[in-house]
A and B are shown apart, each in its own frame.
Chain A
Amino acid sequence: MKTALSTLEMRRATSVAEALEILRDEPRMPIAGATDVYVGLNFGTLPELRYLDIWALDELRTITVNEDVLVLGALATYTMMVASALVQERLPMMIEAARQVGGPQIQNRGTIGGNIANGSPAGDSLPVLAACDAVVVLQSAGAERRVKFTEFYTGYRKTVMRRDELVVAVEVPRVSGRQWFRKVGTRAAQAISKVVVAGVRGEGARIAVGSIAPTVIRLTATERALATGSLDEAMVALRGEVNPIDDIRSTADYRKRVTENLVRRFWTETA
């Protein structure tokens, strides 16, 4: 409930260069699809009141392949990814993830860059990016740097981004091996994940899980056990590295059990 007039203040940028200049000169939260922003604003959990609307930056609304790397522009929406032949060919697990984000109304507005920057541990595209060793491209006025996706988060909704930086793209190298994605929520549609898993089975296994830790995580010990040992040994490793919590959406016990089941299923279904 909004009871007093606020100081919410919005600027709109029309180009990346303009957006970066604005961010250099004053701290603002960039927003695009804004599908999670208003939820936080309305619940009073979002302290940010100065925004930069970047929805109009069409130059970031692209999906391309450059030197065998799939480049998802930050403003590529879930709807765009679902419709993209390049994503279908190279990263089908992202299509699975995108189709399960909210409903079509949210898929029309939610962006890959927003999912990354928002940093919710339950973000459905994030395990996909973690499992395929993606790289986040950050720009600030006059500078650009690349950060491994698995090193992008430093804590619950905390990232390595500086306030003057903008996520402009995420780069996905060619993925060799079978891709697998599964989301478990309260219901099939319109639910936030209790556990969400993305896996790649190539020479070894790459497994990333969302909603069970402060950030999306890779199950590195489980991956090692799968590469060299049995599924049962991998389950022992998994129990050692997964420590979810009880929260509003689920319990630690449930999440731990479901994570085990999903990893088992990943391994048997991709055999």
Chain B
Amino acid sequence: MHDPDAPDHDDAPSGLTRRNFLTRAGAAGIAGVAASIPLAAALAEGVPEATDAAPDIPGTVPIALRVNGATLRMRIDPRATLLDTLRESVHLTGTKKGCDHGQCGACTVHVNGERVNSCLRLALMHEGDDITTIEGIGSPDALHPMQAAFVAHDGYQCGYCTSGQIMSAVALMKEPCGPRDSDVKELMSGNICRCGAYPNIVAAIQDVRGNSPMRQG
């Protein structure tokens, strides 16, 4: 998948990537990202010491989030949204920030299997919930069928809205949805694509649902 936040070069000198360089350079100025958990370490469940050892920044609060099956402990600004926490504290940057007020759907994740806009969720409200992000549904080596269908049908252009579109589409598979293209469009109406890849997105979803595209609506 094309991800603008992905490391620029796998063979970058001393493992330096654009993102981790920016993160380190900016860390001193970012209140609230008290404890950054290296993702690899975080994925080994129950690692929390690394973060508890981090110095407490005044005003931050401890939180444990279950993300893609792993329990992660960290300290966050109590005002932090789930979106910012996923991106800035957990470093899962597949979830995108578009409008930051619930109008575009780029930040869509699943909470206990239901899709929500992570920009409208305070992270503090989600202790104990099962959170699934785009990183949790498939990997480049083992794409989720919906990811594969988006690739096959060219369901994106710039790719910025894509992870949100795919998270919505995966949730849609378990929701009551009629067979027609117009039914899919209605249930995908919470995800906006500025490039206008809508016909291909609908085709990808209909493919996974086993429906041939019906262009009547």
Contact = CB atoms under 8 A, between A and B. Distances in A.
Interface stretch (A22-30, A38-46, A176-184, A229-237): A38-46
A250 interface: no
A108 B115 contact: yes
Interface string B89-113: 0000000000011111100100000
Given A5-B77, A42-B100, A190-B189, A10 B115 contact: no
A104 B175 contact: yes
Interface in A189-215: 189-190
Contacts of B81: 38
Contacts of B115: 104-105, 108
Given A104-B190, A108-B114, A83 B176 contact: yes
Contacts of B114: 108
B43 interface: no
B1 interface: no
B16 interface: no
A12 B104 CA distance: 29
Contact of A5 (B31, B168, B191): B31
Contacts of A6: 59, 77-79
A256 to B, nearest CB: 26
Given A6-B78, A105-B105, A190 B192 contact: yes
A91 to B, nearest CB: 19
Interface residues of A, number: 31
Contacts of A190: 103-104, 189-190, 192
Nearest to A9: B78
Contact of A8 (B31, B79, B108, B190): B79
B66 interface: no
A161 interface: no
B189 A41 contact: no
Nearest to A2: B79
A173 interface: no
A149 B171 CA distance: 35
Contacts of A99: 186
Nearest to A192: B103
Contacts of B168: 103-105
A206 to B, nearest CB: 28
Interface in B175-198: 175-176, 186-187, 189-192
A41 B79 contact: yes
B59 A5 contact: yes
Contact of B190 (A10, A37, A102): A102
A245 interface: no
Contacts of B108: 105
B78 A10 contact: yes
A79 to B, nearest CB: 8
Contacts of B77: 2, 5-6
Contacts of A42: 100-101
Contacts of A141: none
Nearest to B125: A53
Interface string A3-33: 0111111101000000000000000000100
A45 B192 CA distance: 26
B32 interface: yes
Contact of A55 (B31, B125, B190): B125
A38 B78 CA distance: 12
Interface in B104-152: 104-105, 108, 114-117, 119-122, 124-125
A34 B119 CA distance: 11
A269 B122 CA distance: 43
Contact of A38 (B122, B190, B192): B122
B191 to A, nearest CB: 7
A255 interface: no
Given A35-B102, A42-B101, A190-B103, A105 B116 contact: yes
The 3 closest A-B pairs by CB, nearest first: A103-B190, A5-B59, A189-B189
Interface of B: 31-32, 57-60, 77-79, 81, 100-105, 108, 114-117, 119-122, 124-125, 168, 171-172, 175-176, 186-187, 189-192
Given A102-B102, A106-B190, A190-B189, 17 more contacts: A2-B79, A6-B59, A34-B120, A37-B122, A38-B102, A38-B119, A39-B102, A53-B124, A103-B190, A104-B175, A104-B187, A104-B189, A104-B190, A105-B190, A188-B189, A190-B104, A190-B192
